[in-house]
Amino acid sequence: MQITWFGHSAFRLEFSGSVIMIDPFLSGSPVFSGDALQAAEGCTHVLLTHGHDDHIGDTAAICRETGAQLVSNPEICGHLHGQGVQNVNPGNMGGTVDCGGFTVSFTQALHSSSSNVDGRPLYLGNPMGLIIRGEGQPVVYAMGDTDVFGDMALINEFHRPEVGLVPIGDRFTMGARGAALACRRFFDFRAIVPCHFGTFPMIDQTAEKFLSEMGDDASKVVLAQHGKPFEV
């Protein structure tokens, strides 16, 4: 599996003919340089954890351009269908949907989910984490925006994720201490990719505190560079 991090929580996963964009906040991101549609070239699926603008990002444009399938909760799928996204595959917490070459299972996340439409907040369902499982591939847990919570132990027991995409930036998600506790207590990840940091001044700018809190498990942390693919 090849993974590319574009900053914030925007990822591209490639394996077995599938090209997955997760939370593709690109053209509006202060840490992304380039063309959003080029970054999403060949995209087959867009997965969204929740409805905040810094996660929905360029989803509608990507789906319209590529025909990619949108996988998210029913509220987000309905909202973006109204923006011209034709191919939607909705699900909700506890459920699993078949995406052809892989499945996505939806888990709990402790956050909120809405968008601003004409200056008013629009409710966009519950925030979620995503378990991505492809045959012969490492199981990926994209946590979305969340705090640490005890039922992460059940997520690990049920899904056995091997790669974690973990928010660490604090203020709107777990900070370094909570994220490290989650990774060390509840999971046996072989690769941990920190995200949701270094984007806006209000959140942590580096992963240094997270690495320190990870202690002896810091070797599992992959400090990805923006736009540079790596293998897991």
Q: Which domains does the chain have, with CATH numbers?
A: 2-222 (3.60.15.10)
Tokens describing residue 4:
């590319």
Q: What is the chain's percent helix, strand, coil content, to nearest 5?
A: 25, 30, 50
Q: Residue 215 burial by CB count (10 A; 0-12/13-18/19+): exposed, middle or buried?
A: exposed
Percentage of the chain beyond pLDDT 70 is 100
User: Is the Cβ–Cβ distance between 124 and 144 less than 8 Å?
Assistant: no
pLDDT for the residue 166: 99
**What value does the mean pLDDT take over residues 73-94?**
98
Q: Can you tell me whether residue 37 is helix, strand or coil?
A: helix
**What value does the mean pLDDT take over residues 133-138?**
98
pLDDT for the residue 8: 98
Which strand ranges, in their side-by-side order, compose the sheet holding 191-195? 96-98, 102-108, 128-134, 140-142, 163-167, 191-195
Question: Residue 128: enclosing H or E segment and its boundaries?
Answer: strand 128-134
List pLDDT tens digits, range 184-230: 999 999 999 999 999 999 999 999 999 999 999 999 999 999 999 99
**What value does the mean pLDDT take over residues 1-30?**
98
**What value does the mean pLDDT take over residues 145-166?**
98
pLDDT for the residue 117: 87
pTM, to two decimals: 0.98
**What value does the mean pLDDT take over residues 64-89?**
98
Question: Beta-carbon neighbour count of residue 19 at 10 Å?
Answer: 18
Look over the chain and give the mean of its residue pLDDT values, rounded to a whole number.
98
Q: How far apart are the first and last CA of the chain?
A: 6
Query: Virtual CA dihedral for 134, 182, 168, 89, nearest 10 degrees?
Result: 30
Res 118 pLDDT > 90: no
List pLDDT tens digits, range 87-105: 999 999 999 999 999 999 9
Confidence of residue 128 (pLDDT cuts 50, 70, 90): very high
